[in-house]
Amino acid sequence: MRYRKPKYYPDFQCIAGSCPDTCCAGWQIVIDEGSLEKYSNIKSDFGTRLLNSIDWYQGTFEQYHRRCSFLNEEDLCDIYRELGPEALCQTCRQYPRHVEEFEDLREYSLSLSCPEAARIMLSAKEKTEFEETEDSVAENEEEYLEFDLLLFDCLEEARELIFAVLQDRSLELSKRMAVLLRFSFEIQEALDKGELFELELEECLEAILKREEKGSFKARFRNRKAMADDLRKLEVLREDWRKEVANLRAQLYDRGEETYAEILESFWKVLKGSGAEGDWDIWGEQILVFFVYTYFCGAVYDDRIYTKAVLSVFSLLWIREILLERWYIRGEEPKLENVCRAAWEYAREIEHSDENLDLLEDIFDGSALYTPENFLPGLTI
């Protein structure tokens, strides 16, 4: 079995009581069967508290004012404090660590929705690197009877090529995004036509890199406004998010294209003046690499390659729009801590709801807005 993880992966350590947005509030924590069984057998006062503070039917911790009922006033976990780290349920033990399983490969990542993980990812100036190890453990063949190894090899190879483009800092970030989208689109088309294995990935990518993509401000405005409408179709996990999306549309788009252009121009001046222009692209690169690493090869299970690429670009564009709006309304500067906050808040809404991830991919698949012809011109300005 092969194992792959980003090099920063072991650096993560939960900052618990110092966390600006603890994961023990704001969403339901599902408890695994083994932990439920363990909790039901604890005979002490704390065992009684466990019995009374778990929704045994749903298998979740009860919440109090949207906080886990075991989260104490210092934002520390009482289960951890009373019973030790081994007593945490699987979700709490693993989060924000995430695992994607493929036939002979296990990929580890940290979730962008955790503030500390976001800080680790986005504060790195150097390009994200991955390390791979291997052991002699064999995969469970029965679990992977239908696994398409040929498609997976192609996706893995394509993703390596995509990483090289996304991390090529001699290219503008909008160009890197455009190449990611076009390249994934070509691979998708080849797969759909049953011609995937005739596609020479490197040659295809070379041709795309030479291509000039024309952009227009009109397309940018039209696309962002339509994307805001698509975001409003998603399940909302936190009420604040609903307000954020509504506010963003009202402040940035509803007042027309000219106002939006003025806001954007002033924002660019601030960004240049603050000296954070270079960091802006590095943050963007790290976010794109994160999404491509975490999702792209998952297309082996649903054949949706292009929508995974759109998800990566959509996520970055949206995080940037949140920053634009927060700068405009609240005067928040585009600096690391604000970028991290926008990234983790976005990721909490999108990544932690399978329903939202699926719906977004359905939207990208079914709407003309996200075809390369319509989506790409909105990137380049």
Query: Total residues contacting ligand SF4 (rule CB under 6 A)?
Result: 11
Q: Which of 1, 2, 16, 264 binds ligand SF4 (CB under 6 A)?
A: 16
Choice from 107, 116, 285, 351 touching ligand SF4 (CB under 6 A): 116
> Binders of ligand SF4 among 265-304, rule CB under 6 A?
none
Q: Site for ligand SF4 (CB under 6 A): which residue of 14, 76, 357, 369? A: 14
Q: Under 8 Å CB-to-CB from 259, ≥6 apart: which residues?
A: none
Residue from 297, 306, 290, 303 nearest 350 by CA? 290
Does residue 19 belong to the site contacting ligand SF4 (CB under 6 A)?
Answer: yes
Closest CB to ligand SF4 among 22 and 188?
A: 22
**Distance set, CA 62 to CA 7, 16, 27, 86, 280 (Å):** 36, 20, 10, 20, 40
Which DSSP helix (H) or strand (E) runs through 93?
helix 90-94
Stretch of 9-17, 230-238, 281-289, 369-377 lying at the interface with ligand SF4 (CB under 6 A): 9-17
Instruction: Report the residue from 2, 3, 9, 15 that binds ligand SF4 according to the rule CB under 6 A.
Output: 15
Buried b (16+ CB within 10 A) or exposed e, 284-309: bbbbbbbbbbbbbbbbbeeebbbbbb
DSSP SS3 for 284 = helix
Part of the chain binding ligand SF4 (CB under 6 A), chosen from 12-20, 78-86, 131-139, 173-181: 12-20
Q: Which is nearer to ligand SF4, 87 or 208 (CB)?
A: 87
For ligand SF4, the closer CB: 14 or 261: 14
Does the protein bind ligand SF4 through residue 114 (CB under 6 A)?
A: yes
Q: Is the CB of residue 111 less than 8 Å from the CB of residue 94?
A: no
- Interface with ligand SF4 by CB under 6 A: which range of 13-21, 132-140, 284-292, 310-318? 13-21
Ramachandran category for residue 190: left, alpha or beta (phi over 0 → left; psi -120 to 50 → alpha)? alpha
CB of 111 to ligand SF4, least distance (A): 8
The residue range among 10-18, 203-211, 327-335, 359-367 that interacts with ligand SF4, by the rule CB under 6 A, is 10-18
Query: Nearer Cβ to ligand SF4, position 25 or 261?
Result: 25
Distance from C-alpha of 261 to C-alpha of 149, rounded to nearest angstrom: 47
Q: What angle do CA 315, 318, 319 make, to 5 degrees?
A: 85
CB of 222 to ligand SF4, least distance (A): 36
Q: Which is nearer to ligand SF4, 95 or 370 (CB)?
A: 95
For residues 93-112, which are near ligand SF4 according to CB under 6 A? 95-96
DSSP 61: E
CB 118, min distance to ligand SF4, A: 9
- 26 near ligand SF4, rule: CB under 6 A: no
Binding mask 76-95 for ligand SF4 (x = CB under 6 A): -------------------x
Minimum CB–partner distance for residue 20 and ligand SF4 (Å)? 8
Find all residues with CB under 8 Å of 1, minimum gap 6, and list them: 104, 105, 106, 134, 135, 137, 138, 139
Buried b (16+ CB within 10 A) or exposed e, 61-91: bebeeeebbbbeeebebbbbebbeeebbbeb
Among the listed ranges 15-23, 101-109, 153-161, 184-192, the one in contact with ligand SF4 (CB under 6 A) is: 15-23
The Cα–Cα gap between 175 and 172 comes to 5
Please count the residues of the chain.
Answer: 381
Q: Out of 6, 115, 284, 378, which residue is the one contacting ligand SF4 (CB under 6 A)?
A: 115
The conformation of residue 106, written as its DSSP 8-state character, comes to E
Contact residue for ligand SF4 among 5, 6, 23, 322 (CB under 6 A): 23
Distances, alpha carbon 157 to alpha carbons 8, 107, 161, 164, 179, in Å: 22, 15, 7, 11, 15
Residues making contact with ligand SF4 (CB under 6 A): 14-16, 19, 22-23, 95-96, 114-116
